[in-house]
Amino acid sequence: MGGPGNPPEGSPEGAPGGGEDEYRSVVFDESFVRAARLQEFSAQERLTDHAPAVRRRPPRRRGLSKQALALVLLIALAFGTAIYLGVRHPYATPAAKPTEPLRMTVIPLSPQAPVPGAEDPEKLYAHSPAAQFRIGAEGITMPVTRRTEHFSDSQVVSALTIAKEYLVASALDPEVLGGTTVQPVRRLLDSQQLDQFEQSFDHPAADGRHAPTGWLVRFDPSRAELADHKIRVQGTLQAAEFDSGTLEVVASHTFVYALRSAGDEAGARASLFTVRRELHFRFDQDDLRTHQAEVVVSYVQAGPLACADDAAEHLRPLLAGQTAKGGGPAAGTDPYATGGATALCGSLAQSAQPKV
């Protein structure tokens, strides 16, 4: 059944299928419609004949808006203020705690009889109180460590380790013992003690402040040398807080050396020389960071030595068969003088000598 027919007079003009449609050849696809831009005229535009048919939008501004620019400036200002306050802190930085000078005491021990000797150093050790001592650095044993109130366990271990390194450098290094160098000891010292250290070696004095033998063990190379490099050692290390910012390590050790006369060939008679050292080390945070130590107390007893010999610059051991000369210390003590330390001398017990 067909649809309704057109009226007799034909299709109305403008109706679909009627007359000549001037837009029949134009195809409006979906993409064209979507891309078309609609513009509604304002009332003023509709009343004005010469108004433009299309009102263009103002061009889009590129770059930061005023609000974004203000935010960037605010952040930059805050950042600059923080840097300024970090560099120019309104409060004064506390001054570093001054390092104490080393206070030292070196006491020669004079033998009561001729110094025992033997060709074999091992025989001397075996018949002496050092028979059960360990050899070298093995005799400097580390204690059981634990943290303190203001220092961690690792910091306590670090302090003990530096103290042990100082003992090895100052009492076991053959070149230091022979007077060839002092550098292994120097590099472990707090920088504030270096002036005192260097003055001690440039201008040695038995004044309780500038005796090289208070810093390290060294023998007069013109008189004695090592007969055996297996130095016997025994002692203890202890660590505790000195104050809230300082750790203190106390090292108390006995070192026993086998010596012979300088220039003697192997097989010449050797004798034993004993050094008892008690050193007090202190460590602040900077010392632990730089791996250095402050040495504030050095108490040394050494023998066999002659009281008349100066033990401040070098130790001048009495060797096998030798006896101490009569008399006290080389320099007399002036009770009216100030600023100096009284020279001390002790007697070396026979029980401390090997039985050969």
Residue-range domain boundaries for the chain: 103-325+342-352
Q: What is the pLDDT along the chain (356 residues), one digit of tens a residue?
A: 445 555 555 555 555 555 555 555 556 666 666 666 666 666 666 666 555 555 566 666 565 577 777 888 888 888 777 776 655 544 443 445 677 899 999 999 999 899 999 999 999 999 999 999 999 999 999 999 889 999 999 999 999 999 999 999 999 999 999 999 999 999 999 999 999 999 999 999 999 999 999 999 999 999 999 999 999 999 999 999 999 899 999 999 999 999 999 987 767 899 999 999 999 999 999 999 999 999 999 999 999 999 988 899 999 999 999 998 765 555 555 555 555 555 688 888 888 889 87
- Using alpha carbons, select from 295, 314, 305, 315 the residue that is nearest to residue 167: 295
Q: Which residues of 149-172 are buried (b: 16+ CB within 10 A; e: fewer)?
A: eebeeebbebbbebbbbbbbbbbb
Is the peptide bond between 304 and the residue preceding it cis, with omega within 30 degrees of 0? yes
pTM for this entry: 0.71
If phi > 0 it is left, if psi is from -120 to 50 it is alpha, else beta; for residue 184 that is alpha
